Structure 1
Amino acid sequence: MLDLLHEDHEQLDRLCARATTEPKASDVLVAMLARHLSAEEQYLYPAIHSVLPEGPEIAERELAADAELLVALRRLHATPADQAALHSVTERVRAHTRRTDGEVFPALRERCTDTELVRLGNRVEIARSAAPTRPHPGTPSTPPLNKVVDPAIGVVDKVMDALSRRTTWEEDL
């Protein structure tokens, strides 16, 4: 799980840079980040909450930061050429990456077995594939409701993406 999410962070960083010069990269950034946050809210934060001694506080902090990021992401989605919106999302993504890669992931590696992390990684992959591709700040952000609502919204988002021919994967740019 941690390796998958770290790879997402690297891809998000690349997309933030590309979005400054490639308009279609903003669509991919929005979709990628929406999928990433959905998967973290479904599996990473519950793991943090249950495994780390300070886990409940960390999970709450990250959920609050995600809520703010989703609002900024919604603004970017509505106005992809808005450099201020892109800057806001970029700064929030970088802060998120610093916190999770630098503090949270090492603590989880110490406390979780490889088997647990692989099992969670499999679930993260499934969650990402079913997740929404647009920001939905008003939806539930904690299990069990987000595990039901996010895939349902994801289906609607994917239909809208197909109808509008919206690019949502970096490799399609």
Structure 2
Amino acid sequence: MSSVPLPPLPPVPGVTDEEFEPAGRSMIELLDEDHDRLGRLCSRAATEPAASDVLVATLARHLAAEEQYLYPAVHSVLPDGPAIAERELAADADLLVALRRLHSTTDDTALWSITERIRRHAHRAATEIFPALREHCSHGELVRLGNRVEIARSAAPTRPHPGIPSTPPLDKIVDPALGVVDKVMDALSRRTTWEEDL
């Protein structure tokens, strides 16, 4: 198996990194749940205006987490990883532009476009990317990445910001800074950004 680019674990006497079994959920499980949630939100946004804001925020957080952890892992461990990561980053950049349009309009065609792009994005992940990662990464690596995805999502922007850096290390600096600004704007405008608050 190839090694995923992760910082070393703190030393534990008598335990190697390979023997350590981290707690948490795998990155694949978390991102797959996001894809399901995004599908539900697309359906709800067609009839509930508040769901559109939640869709925008959820997708912005999801894409930020994928750019920080999924695509670098894909790039590093899969034989054709660099090409896959480049393709997905380009698709995400287009998705952010479409998301900005949805965020600024109530146009039904914008929602339809986002829904179709999310459906294709989730399909590629489920049929191509996730199975390959399961084959090339250890369960412990996927859990350690999952822990980082959860942190990245909580610090990520809640609005689309096309054109900002989408690869490490800059995205890991810029995304949390924009996330703070977005969260302040959300609080001031009382914008709903979590599905459970709908």
State the TM-score, normalizing by the size of structure 1: 0.99
2:129 alignment partner AA: V
- What displacement does 1:147 show? 0.2
Match of residue 137, structure 1, among 162, 177, 186: 162
Match of residue 12, structure 1, among 23, 38, 45: 38
- What displacement does 1:123 show? 0.2
2:10 corresponds in structure 1 to none
SS of 1:10's partner is helix
- Is 1:43 paired with 2:73? no
User: Equivalents in 2 of 1:88, 1:71: separation in Å?
Assistant: 11
User: Equivalents in 2 of 1:22, 1:126: separation in Å?
Assistant: 29
2:53 corresponds in structure 1 to 27
1:46 alignment partner AA: P
- Is 1:115 paired with 2:140? yes
User: Equivalents in 2 of 1:111, 1:129: separation in Å?
Assistant: 27
1:108 alignment partner AA: L
Once the two structures are superposed, what CA deviation does each residue of 1:64-114 show, in whole Å capped at 9, x if it has no partner?
0000000000000001x2101001110100000000111100000011001
Once the two structures are superposed, what CA deviation does each residue of 1:30-49 show, in whole Å capped at 9, x if it has no partner?
00000000000000000000
1:159 corresponds in structure 2 to 184
**Runs (4+) off by over 6 Å:** none
2:108 corresponds in structure 1 to 83
Gaps of 5+ in 2: 1-26
RMSD value over aligned CA atoms? Answer: 0.4
SS of 2:135's partner is helix
Q: Point out the structure with max Rg over C-alpha.
A: 2
User: Equivalents in 2 of 1:85, 1:15: separation in Å?
Assistant: 14
2:151 corresponds in structure 1 to 126
1:89 alignment partner AA: I
Aligned length: 172
- Is 1:69 paired with 2:98? no
User: Equivalents in 2 of 1:156, 1:101: separation in Å?
Assistant: 33
1:63 alignment partner AA: L
2:196 corresponds in structure 1 to 171
State the TM-score, normalizing by the size of structure 2: 0.86
SS of 2:191's partner is coil
User: Equivalents in 2 of 1:163, 1:3: separation in Å?
Assistant: 33
Once the two structures are superposed, what CA deviation does each residue of 1:48-68 show, in whole Å capped at 9, x if it has no partner?
000000000000000000000
